[in-house]
């Protein structure tokens, strides 16, 4: 930060009482009528540094009131004009994947493999949210996850560290833009640091067991990318790692986050995480909780009042040094200055034309959807008679997904509306089994049946783990029932998490994985089904055959026995009662044309380690030809395998992708520059190394590609 900001911060700290300092570390939620006067009094005394603009621990699944800009300006005026030091309050809200305009859930956006489009989505989001007086949002969520039973997998980038890195950069860039002090920006918050997505069994809030080697190579890269991209806040996670709660861990919050990753901003706890140290068994009372957390490097306490109620006592007892308090305040004030909060503390609400944002939302949704199967039925012809059936035909709210606080279901077109707009030959069929006899004439007369299937938004998000990742038995029965008419049948699946595809995909002629894709989900589906848009999404997660096969992820290390079943090696030796290969692997997706790849070619087959470390690269490329008759985008993916290393390395590691529009009948040359940063790994101490030896380089359509060349580091 600039010397000017540093001087202002130090001047403020020098004039603050201990109580005021601790107030800057205190983040309560929005007051209710019952405690409003008490709340205002605390603001006027300088005892509140930030406000969580919601109510409840699971705000993403609980109804929240609309934002009153006048109300928050009134609160801010008390802080600026009445409190002893006149420090403005930082207003934070869960603006996770859109504000009034809702974009696809982050997992779906990861499926677009289009960081620039993701960044644009969050630019639009920041403009809308900042207009409502929001300064700070608790995203990006960067929890790598291998277990789709976890309801919060929908908020993250999936199973791959490199995709997480790309999403982190894109989201921070979109939210914060080039100038954080601009009034149309939001402070980003990288969460949940760290290992929350590794909760055992996908059970929310549970323990995780992560070695340091795995931590540095799988879980930390996205957080490092967010820090490098300029994220100035980080949210700590609820979980422990190997018996050490993150909330009170100096190792994770200071030694790794600050010293290793170079983070300069402030850390906020998750909701009530400080007081839960008692239940986690590492503190006896709230004073011990507060002391342990602040000494570990946790700067701001969300909601539970442990800091404001106990840190004065902890300082007096010697359990916490006032220097530790000062450092936490210093970080928070520095961020407030960087965000321009002192220059423009009040919101001035303007009328925003959301038309362009909705156009972007429809594009983002379409680019995120993944065509998994197509036996010649798609795209549909508008002259065809189409029977539209299923529980998601008229659904609005679930299209928006969980963690949608400010989007409006009543403004969200449903699939029936968008399909009927596109064609006069769409007939909506009642899905009530008792009514099938009266509607089966329309099905019998149809050329194609489109089934709108999925899971409710209430089945995903925080505290929404499930034990069985599949659609309901009723929906599976609906698929079988529709097939009895002998028609080509298309399944459109609106889900937040990955689902088990066995007993679903087999009975469908085409499958479009549409996710919970936001305000324009129905329009994007319609565009794809009728061929106005060629699908281009690719899976950022593996879709298993059965729920019992999870965790199942592509970047696994090899077994010492010949049972690398993800890659088809002796699958019968993994499970004797089922096929353990993925139904659809990481990176998979098809479109309305075919692409033909040349063999990969590199500009050099050998490179010295010293030259590589000095900045030289290896360029590897392929020629991709569109052999069909539709212009379409292909996501060209590059994976590596470190054949022999001092530590076991994954069978495949994604190290690059490029989404390229290739006209029909044309070819495109796609190249990648492999650098020192791409060809190594972190050891258990967090030190990066590149070792001499052979590296397999694979370029193709998904992680299972065998299109390979080899380079050697000498």
Going by C-alpha positions, the residue among 425, 667, 632, 405 that lies closest to residue 535 is 632
Structure tokens at 490: 């298309």
Separation between Cα atoms, residue 596 and residue 440, nearest integer Å:
42
In three-state secondary structure terms, 205 is coil
Structure tokens at 436: 């099938």
Angle subtended at Cα 85 by Cα 84 and Cα 91, rounded to the nearest 5 degrees: 105
Structure tokens at 204: 């929310």
Structure tokens at 494: 């609106």
The owner of tokens 């490329």 is 621
The verdict on whether omega for the bond into residue 498 sits within 30 degrees of 0, i.e. cis, is no
Which uninterrupted H or E stretch holds 389?
strand 386-389
Bridge partners, residue 673, by sequence: 619
DSSP 8-state code for residue 26: E
> Distance between alpha carbon 613 and the CA centroid of its chain, in Å?
32
Name the E strands within 565-651: 595-597, 601-602, 606-607, 618-626, 632-642
Going by C-alpha positions, the residue among 522, 712, 499, 526 that lies closest to residue 605 is 712
Going by C-alpha positions, the residue among 645, 665, 642 that lies closest to residue 655 is 642
Torsion sign over Cα 241, 245, 251, 254? positive
For 604, half-sphere exposure in the C-beta direction (CA atoms, 13 angstrom radius) is 15
Separation between Cα atoms, residue 54 and residue 35, nearest integer Å:
15
Going by C-alpha positions, the residue among 640, 635, 630, 389 that lies closest to residue 528 is 630
CB neighbours (10 Å) of residue 293?
Answer: 31
Positions marked catalytic: 270
Cβ pair 272, 57 in contact under 8 A: yes
CB neighbours (10 Å) of residue 458?
Answer: 12
Torsion sign over Cα 42, 43, 49, 52? positive
Per-residue three-class SS string for 109-153: HHHCCCHHHHHHHHHHHHHHHHCCCCCEECCCECCCCCCCCCHHH
Phi and psi (nearest 5°) for 123?
Answer: -65, -45
């Amino acid at each position: 930060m600039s010397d000017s900001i540093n001087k202002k911060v130090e001047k403020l700290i020098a004039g603050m009482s201990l109580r005021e300092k601790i107030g800057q570390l205190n983040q309560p939620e929005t007051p209710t009528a019952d405690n409003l006067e008490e709340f205002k009094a605390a603001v006027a005394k300088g005892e509140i540094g930030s406000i969580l603009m919601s109510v409840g621990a699971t705000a993403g699944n609980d109804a929240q009131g609309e934002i009153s800009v006048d109300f928050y300006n009134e609160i801010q005026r008390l802080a600026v004009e009445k409190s002893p030091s006149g420090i403005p309050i930082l207003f934070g809200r869960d603006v996770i994947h859109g504000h009034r305009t809702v974009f696809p859930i982050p997992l779906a956006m990861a499926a677009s493999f289009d960081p620039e489009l993701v960044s644009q989505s969050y630019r639009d989001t920041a403009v809308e949210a900042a207009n409502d007086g929001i300064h700070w949002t608790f995203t990006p969520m960067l929890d790598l996850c291998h277990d789709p039973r976890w309801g919060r997998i929908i908020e993250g980038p999936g199973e791959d560290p490199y995709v997480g890195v790309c999403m982190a950069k894109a989201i921070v860039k979109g939210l914060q833009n080039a100038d954080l002090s601009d009034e149309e920006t939001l402070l980003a918050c990288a969460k949940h640091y760290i290992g929350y997505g590794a909760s055992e069994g996908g059970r929310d809030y549970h323990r995780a067991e992560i070695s340091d080697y795995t931590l540095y190579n799988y879980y930390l890269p996205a957080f490092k990318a967010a820090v490098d991209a300029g994220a100035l806040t980080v949210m700590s996670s609820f979980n422990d790692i190997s018996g050490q709660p993150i909330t009170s861990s100096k190792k994770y919050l200071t030694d790794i986050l600050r010293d290793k990753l170079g983070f300069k901003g402030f850390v906020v706890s998750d909701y009530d995480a400080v007081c839960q140290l008692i239940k986690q068994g590492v503190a006896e009372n709230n004073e011990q909780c507060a002391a342990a957390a602040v000494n570990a490097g946790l700067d701001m306490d969300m909601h539970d009042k442990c800091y404001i109620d106990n840190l004065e006592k902890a300082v007096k007892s010697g359990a916490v040094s006032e220097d530790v308090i000062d450092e936490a305040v210093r970080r928070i004030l520095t961020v407030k200055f960087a965000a321009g909060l002192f220059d423009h503390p009040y919101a001035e609400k303007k009328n925003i034309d959301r038309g362009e944002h909705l156009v972007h939302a429809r594009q983002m949704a379409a680019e995120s959807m993944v065509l998994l199967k197509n036996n010649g039925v798609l795209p549909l012809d508008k002259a065809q008679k189409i029977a539209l059936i299923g529980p998601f035909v008229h659904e609005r709210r679930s299209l928006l997904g969980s963690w949608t606080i400010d989007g409006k279901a009543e403004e969200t077109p449903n699939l029936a509306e968008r399909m009927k707009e596109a064609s006069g030959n769409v007939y909506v069929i009642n899905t009530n089994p008792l009514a099938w006899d009266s509607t089966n004439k329309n099905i019998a007369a149809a050329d194609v049946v489109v089934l709108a299937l999925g899971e409710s938004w209430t089945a995903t998000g925080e505290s929404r783990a499930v034990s069985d990742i599949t659609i309901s038995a009723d929906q599976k029965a609906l698929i079988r029932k529709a097939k009895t008419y002998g028609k080509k049948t298309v399944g459109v699946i609106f889900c937040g998490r990955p689902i088990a595809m066995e007993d679903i995909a087999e009975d469908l002629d085409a499958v479009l994985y549409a996710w919970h894709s936001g305000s324009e989900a129905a329009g994007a589906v319609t565009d794809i089904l009728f061929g106005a848009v060629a699908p281009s999404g690719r899976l950022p997660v593996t879709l298993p055959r059965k729920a019992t096969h999870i965790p199942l992820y592509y970047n696994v290390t090899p077994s010492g026995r010949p049972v690398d079943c993800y890659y088809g090696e002796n699958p019968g030796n993994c499970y004797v009662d089922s096929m353990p290969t993925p139904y659809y692997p990481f990176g998979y997706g098809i479109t309305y044309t075919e692409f033909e790849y040349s063999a990969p070619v590199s500009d050099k087959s050998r490179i010295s380690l010293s030259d590589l470390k000095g900045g030289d690269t290896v360029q590897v490329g392929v020629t991709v030809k569109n052999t069909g008759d539709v212009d379409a985008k292909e996501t060209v993916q590059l994976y590596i395998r470190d054949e022999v290393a001092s530590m076991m390395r994954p069978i495949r590691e994604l190290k690059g992708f490029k989404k390229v529009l290739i006209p029909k009948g044309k070819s495109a040359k796609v190249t990648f520059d492999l650098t020192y940063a791409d060809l190594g790994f972190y050891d258990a101490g967090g030190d990066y190394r590149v070792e001499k030896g052979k590296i397999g380089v694979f370029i193709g359509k998904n992680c299972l590609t065998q299109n390979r060349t080899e380079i050697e580091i000498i």
